[in-house]
Amino acid sequence: MDFSPDYITSRFTSNVEDIELLKKIIFSGDEWSRLDQGVITFDEVCTATKAKLPNRLHATCDKLFEEWHLHKLPNHEMTQLVKDLKARNYGIYLCSNAAARFYSYMDNYEVFKYFDDLTISADLKISKPNPEIYNHILDKHQLDPKTCLFIDDINANIVGANNVGIAGYHFNGNTKLFRAFLETIKVL
């Protein structure tokens, strides 16, 4: 699925200055990463966030925290690519920095049914790029890091995977380019 703080915040206000402010305070703040680590709740994040926002944005903030996950759009090209990889009998594992609320919306996305396992950072209280999260997956599934490819849209997470011996691909949202890469390295 595509995660875009710009798009998500624009679903709750059309004011460009408010979009920038909400995006900066919510998605770039320390609380959001602590939420992904499972050490803070959505209510706690919302309270902390509202303390940093003007009163006029408090109701918008409440609504955003209740509904943000409804505005993560499925990436149909990537879903097809995952299906193609699964048809070739590759093991496919999700490693996501996500809050526990992930489980409340995951069934809305077809792609998740093709994964062999889902590792959610909030469950482990560890998030990418901490090496422990990659080692957890390697150990749990008895995977050799030399046979794995880690895909992420954040370069720091790729570096984290590299640090435990896993090759990485920095996904920029272009599924056709990623598919061409997989063809070049003879995965597809």
**24-80 confidence digits (pLDDT tens):** 999 988 898 899 999 998 899 999 999 999 999 999 999 999 998 889 888 999 999
Q: Please, what sign has the CA dihedral across residues 95, 67, 16, 50?
A: negative
- Pick left, alpha or beta for residue 171 (phi over 0 → left; psi -120 to 50 → alpha; otherwise beta): beta
Q: Which CATH class is domain 76-184?
A: alpha beta
H/E stretch holding 58 reads helix 58-67
pLDDT at 70: 87
Rounded Cα gap, residues 129 and 94, in angstroms: 14
Per-domain boundaries in the chain: 5-71, 76-184
The residues that bridge with 94 in the sheet, in sequence order, are 118
pLDDT at 79: 96
Q: Which long-range contacts (CB under 8 A, 24 or more apart) does 139-145 make?
A: 141/91, 141/93, 141/116, 141/117, 143/91
pLDDT band at 184 (very low <50, low <70, confident <90, very high): very high
Other beta carbons less than 10 A from residue 67's beta carbon: 12
The residues that bridge with 119 in the sheet, in sequence order, are 95
Residue 59: CA count within 13 A, CB half-sphere? 2
Q: What is residue 169's three-state secondary structure?
A: strand
Give the CA angle between residues 188, 128, 4 to the nearest 5°. Answer: 75
Q: Is the pTM of this model over 0.85?
A: yes
